[in-house]
Structure 1
């Protein structure tokens, strides 16, 4: 069952429209939803949608998802969270009118890195690996190989929360359709021996 790890998941900011079974998690991310802390804009929203389970120690989390990327900063992917000031998210974000694989690492304040991959469609996969105080994020290329997005230091307790996340920061409040996205896979496994050079 591709989403069986989420059967015990709970929401941080439950969206008004979502469905879940062991084959699919569908979310309509609500307008003005976002996760961010301070950098550049001074804003600090904690209103994004996060469907999380507890995880401990070192691990590898993989998600496969789709989205109808249309509005600036529409985003969907994975999150690792300690609290509102300490978290990591990675996935696809719509920026400069194209899709980008992105990672945000927040330790009091947020930073952002992006790998432009224009016009992605269909299911896409990202992976987040935690080994000690190091986080690795990857995206899967068209040949099925994991490509490194980010290597970051991230000091956190052994127990964290991980799961799918989605946000629609600039969708208009009057736009009822929201940002539609869905997950078809979510797995948690042991961390690979060498995530820096993983294939």
Structure 2
């Protein structure tokens, strides 16, 4: 994997604040009420979460690291893969029902959502990895020193022009700051399942 400079990305929706820190990380404050969602159950459309994106071709993977240091309902960060405003995938950690949950939202005109609780990830550095091969996105996540956890397998048209990178949002409040520590791109995963 090669590191991507923060300056190499293009903002899809500007954050309130984005500051490169002395440790090489990027601190990002999304706007109050920012979110990514289309229709399902809630009945609204939001497309105003800040995301720093770079081209994401087939047969590549993107990884984003961040410190999980928030605890307010629906605060979230991770990786956004975007084709357009009706076709995108966000994957990461979101606080829901009082605890951090790793999960993904896959949107093809309408959004769906899957999550799993990860309370022991609080306060630690999380890595979210999205691999693009053929007609599929494979989403994995982990905290440092632990094995990858498969989060989602989702379809993506192999001919689609997509971009990907770190995103964050705060649907329920103002004042969230997410500290991203790294952004990398490399080759796609060889297989969905590891060798036994």
Alpha-carbon distance change, 106 to 198 in structure 1, aligned in 2, over 3 angstroms: farther
In the alignment, is residue 195 of structure 1 matched against residue 196 of structure 2? Answer: no
Return the TM-score normalized by structure 1: 0.89
Aligned equivalent of 2:127, options 119, 125, 128: 125
**1:98 shift after superposition:** 0.3
1:181 equivalent in structure 2:
178
**1:73 shift after superposition:** 0.6
Give the superposed CA RMSD: 2.1
Written as runs of structure 1 = structure 2, the 5 A alignment for 1:85-104 is 85-104=86-105
Question: Which consecutive residues of structure 1, in runs of 5 or more, have no partner in the other structure?
Answer: none
Written as runs of structure 1 = structure 2, the 5 A alignment for 1:27-176 is 27-119=28-120, 120-141=122-143, 143-155=145-157, 157-171=159-173, 175=174
- 1:73-127 deviations in whole A, cap 9, x for unaligned? 1000001101110001101000010001111110111101101111521211111
Q: Aligned equivalents of 1:5 and 1:159: distance in 2?
A: 21
Return the TM-score normalized by structure 2: 0.91
- 1:162-185 deviations in whole A, cap 9, x for unaligned? 1100010011xxx4xx11111111
* Paired residue secondary structure (2:193): helix
* Paired residue secondary structure (1:36): strand
8 Å CA contact 2:29–2:177 kept in 1: the answer is: yes
**1:59 shift after superposition:** 1.1
Alpha-carbon distance change, 77 to 198 in structure 1, aligned in 2, over 3 angstroms: farther
Q: Aligned equivalents of 2:52 and 2:129: distance in 1?
A: 16
* Paired residue secondary structure (1:111): strand
Q: Aligned equivalents of 2:127 and 2:8: distance in 1?
A: 22
Question: Which consecutive residues of structure 2, in runs of 5 or more, have no partner in the other structure?
Answer: none
1:10 equivalent in structure 2:
10
- 1:15-70 deviations in whole A, cap 9, x for unaligned? 12111368211101221100001111111100111111112122111111014322
* Paired residue secondary structure (1:197): coil
Please identify runs of 4+ aligned residues in structure 1 that moved more than 4 A: none
The total of aligned residue pairs comes to 194
Q: Aligned equivalents of 1:55 and 1:61: distance in 2?
A: 8
* Paired residue secondary structure (2:119): coil
2:26 equivalent in structure 1:
25
